[in-house]
Structure formats: C-alpha cells, structure tokens
Amino acid sequence: MTTAVTAPERAGSAPDGTPVHRWVLERAGTRVAVLDYGGILQSVEVPDRDGVRADVVLGFDDVAGYVDCPSPYFGALIGRYANRIAGGAFTLDGRTYRLPRNNGTNCLHGGERGFDKRVWDAEPAADGHGVRLSLVSPDGEEGFPGRLAVSATYALDAGGALRIEYRAVTDAPTVVNLTNHSYWNLGGAGSGRAGGHRLRIAAGHVTPLDGDSVPTGPPAPVAGTRFDFREPREVGSGYDHNFVLDHGTSGASVAAELYDPVSGRVLTVTTTEPGIQLYTGDAFDAGPFGPCEGIALETQHFPDSPNRPDFPSTVLRPGEEFRSVTTYGFGTADDRA
C-alpha cells in the first residue's frame, strides 16, 4: 500500500476556540491519527496475529476528552522539558531560572502550559509520508530562556513503523527535552490492564529516585532488582522510572520491546535518546481508563538533567540544533519467551 496522508479534518476546538484538526496517515497496515492540538497521537491501529485491527494507544474520540481529562498528557508531545526539574529551578551560565511548580515542588513536562496544551502549525511532511508539526515558544514562556523553534514530524515508513523526528533551535542558551507521552495497550484500548504485557528494556542501569521522583544519585545497576528488564518479563505495576539505555548517546538502537501474549502484537521502540521512562499509569483515573490500562515508554533525556552535570546534557545553544528520532515498529509473534 502506498502512503495515504488524508487532508486534515476538523476535530474540535482548543479551550481558547482555536480550531483543531486531525491528520490521518496509513501505510503497510498501520493507520495513525494525529491532532495538531498538543501534537497528540490520537490512535494507532495495527493488526493482531489473526489480522484483526485495534487501536493500541489510549485516547479519546474528540478534543474535549483531552482537554477535560483529569490525567493529562495522553498521546501528547511534551516540552520544553519532559519529566521533572527539581525545585522548579535550574541554573545555566550563572543565571537561575524559576519555573512553575506543577508537580509538588517540581516542574513537570514543561510547566502549567507545556507543548501538550498548544495548537501546533501543521503541514504535510516534505517526503509525503507524514505530517510536520511546528511551533515557536517565546523567550520566557513557562520560565524557560530563549526563543525556541520546534518541529515534530510524524511519518510512517515502508514497513508501517511510526517515526517521530524532533528538531529545535534557539536564540539563547536553554534546556530542551522532548518526548511523546502515549500509553500503549497492545491488546487494544479499553481491553483492560496492560500489566500482563511482557517487556524488555536494553538498560543495565536505572536512575534511583526520592519520594518526589527526583534522581538521588548516579545510575544504579538493575541486576537483582525489580528494574531488571534485560530479559523479557511481565511488566506488572508500580513504575515511573527512567532507565539508562545501554547505547548511551552513541546513536539509534532498540531501547525496548513490548509484547502482548493474548493478541500476539509486538511493539519495538528504537531511539537516539539515552533514556526511556517506564510509567505504568498506576495513579490515573481518566474517563474510561483505569489504573495500569496503558504503559508509557517515553524516550528522553534523564529527569532533572539541568541540575545534574553528571547526566547527559540537555543544554541547547544558539547555532546548534536539537535532533532526536524515535521509531515505533509493529509486528506479531505467535510465541514469546
């Protein structure tokens, strides 16, 4: 099947009345819907081992569902800084910047009005295989320095894998950490808890956290702990942790593989990012979805990196370009260990 990128259709309105549109991509058996509100990945339809298609990300039928949801970030693009910045502050080049404390004492996912609450400009991708979203975050927005120009391109490759490419440039030194916050349930959205999925993460270390989900020290080995997913095992529950991927910052490689033994669907996550946040959604209660009905695998830099010089840097300076690529591949397997 050749790539089909449908003309955008009206999907509702943002809280300020701005029109929101839906873009649909289809190729090689994968069908994806993207909203320009929040850059939300609204649906991903793929077949199971018997060829039966289902939507494997949690989401809502209309924009109002996302706006009114008490548990935010479903499927959204996250920025300027994904995950937490401790104390809602960081110092860069000798100057301290104060951010919203929207997660206890921390700044989470870009603050009170992050990229997940913005309507992005949208246009067909240059290669014709996807949609390119872009926005400009002005200097000082949510306390972050620099005028940041950001783009995120969603595209399907020849095999039906979903590729998200993030780019950003700035006119002043700043920090950047971008991700997508989809919740995956390979049994199909609404099929129940996803804790029975089997997960492998290519990570020998995890960042230990305090009670506020802020790293307390250098990465710790996963061997002999409940964080050891180097061999596939059931996900279970109780996770909201950053795993330090073995490939580091050396380039794209497989970060994680998620498998649902009931449907036979397999999700393979490949990324250029050095970390992946596993979140099992234990706490959320969002409309039709209850705790642990979706698994987030957020490719990203580490939490609180702006305050941790020992972590891979998230600093972006004028003349540089932030670039990150994550690919979600889909398939099936009749039997997995």
Q: Which long-range contacts (CB under 8 A, 24 or more apart) does 110-115 make?
A: 110/78, 110/79, 110/80, 110/81, 110/82, 110/142, 111/142, 111/143, 112/142, 113/141, 113/142, 114/78, 114/79, 114/80, 114/142, 115/38, 115/39, 115/76, 115/77, 115/78, 115/79, 115/80, 115/150, 115/178
Q: Is the peptide bond before 80 cis (omega within 30 degrees of 0)?
A: yes
Distance CA 272, CA 122 (A): 24
Q: Residue 76 in contact with residue 108, Cβ under 8 Å?
A: no
C-alpha–C-alpha distance, residues 19 and 98, integer Å: 32
Would you say 132 and 149 are in contact if contact means Cβ atoms under 8 Å apart? Answer: no
The secondary structure element, H or E, covering residue 68 is helix 63-68
Catalytic residue among 109, 181, 197, 301: 181
The Cα-based distances of 81 to 108, 114, 191 in angstroms read 8, 9, 32
Residue 301 annotated in active site = no
Catalytic annotation present for 181: yes
Helices and strands per DSSP (H, E), number in the chain: 1, 29
Cβ–Cβ under 8 Å, residues 50 and 84: no
Catalytic residue among 45, 257, 298, 301: 298
Active site residues: 181, 298
